[in-house]
Chains A and B, each alone.
Chain A
Amino acid sequence: QKEVEQNSGPLSVPEGAIASLNCTYSDRGSQSFFWYRQYSGKSPELIMFIYSNGDKEDGRFTAQLNKASQYVSLLIRDSQPSDSATYLCAVNRYNFNKFYFGSGTKLNVKP
């Protein structure tokens, strides 16, 4: 079983819609959760992080964490074509500080 699982997609949404990206993780000791965006040919860049159960909002992005279900999600409201990229979920455990990444979900936002 992989440490972090994501649906590879592609996920296609029309411009202006809500895109919902999901991730599950296997290590219950995981304490930090991250969403990175990676454009084709570029390096990953941090979109959001979340440490506590519940929702965390930052502009058009909302991260949701449910530790009991070992589930993390990212919602992108008012999706734009510029949001088209691969979204990587990552988890970390403080005492090991090893970041595990999912394989990523490719998002296509159609104009």
Chain B
Amino acid sequence: DAGVIQSPRHEVTEMGQEVTLRCKPISGHDYLFWYRQTMMRGLELLIYFNNNVPIDDSGMPEDRFSAKMPNASFSTLKIQPSEPRDSAVYFCASSPDRGGGELFFGEGSRLTVL
């Protein structure tokens, strides 16, 4: 299996622009997670899906952030409008089961908002 695939790997944009991050989970995994990592706050859970349905979005920082999972093989995280404080590495991860199984991470999308 190719693992969790994220794109783009790097994104540099200007404040106010829309940013869309993409994720393809491992086939057969029922859970998909979006995390944000910064030096100050570490790995923060933003939102997670089970069978394409958002289960918990309490970590989404503001209404500027939205996430969708239209099918089992694709998810997006959108920031509109972006701000410099959104600069971080955004990780997508998937997990195969409910019973506290392992998280498999993508390589991350490094976002820089100028």
Contacts and interface: CB of A to CB of B under 8 A. Distances in A.
* Chain A residues touching B, majority SS: loop
Interface band, chain B: 20 to 34
Interface in B26-84: 31, 33, 35, 41-43, 45, 48, 50, 55-56
* Chain B residues touching A, majority SS: strand
A26 to B, nearest CB: 15
Contact of B43 (A31, A51, A88, A97): A88
A97 B48 contact: yes
Interface of B: 31, 33, 35, 41-43, 45, 48, 50, 55-56, 91, 95, 98-103, 105-108
Interface of A: 31-32, 34, 36, 42-46, 49, 51, 88, 90, 92-94, 96-104
